[in-house]
Amino acid sequence: METSTILIVAALLFSIGLAVVVVKRHAIVVLMGVELMLNAANLNLVAFSQYDPDRLQGQMMTLFVLVVAAAEAAVALAIVLQVYRHFRTVQLDEVNELNN
């Protein structure tokens, strides 16, 4: 069954994204993990949306998730850039004070 294959791939992608977010120490790689998790959610929505060809609610939701992901990536990378200017590093374990 094709749909259950896609759902299992999405579950695996979500788990890998979660592991990337927790394991990695570089801020940009953590952002990549968040993108992987968003893609897994999109895959679920699209997999169920092909049985709803008249309204396509899942695909509309996916479209808005894409927009929010683009906005999130832009703002997060701007913040990472400021963190790098201030601390001269983007390793998350070493950014450990609010007031320097």
Partner 1 sequence: MIQAAIILFSALTIGGALAVLLTRNVLYSAFFLLLTLLGVAALFVLASADFLAVAQIMIYVGGVLVLIVFGVMLTHNSDPLSRNNQRSNAVLTNHRSWLWPLIMAGGMFTVLYQVLSRGLFVIINREPKYQTTVDTIGRQLMTEYLIPFEIAGILLLVALVGAAYLAMPKQEM
Q: Which parts of 26-85 interact with partner 1 (CB under 8 A)?
A: 26-29, 31-33, 35-36, 39, 42-43, 46-51, 53-56, 59-60, 62-64, 66-75, 77-82, 84-85
One-letter amino acid at 100 equals N
Calpha distance 85→72 (Å, rounded): 20
Minimum distance from CB of 61 to partner 1 (Å)? 9
Distances (CA, A) of 69 to 18, 43, 76, 81: 16, 14, 10, 18
Residues near partner 1 (CB under 8 A), total: 75
Write down the least CB distance from residue 98 to partner 1, Å.
Answer: 14
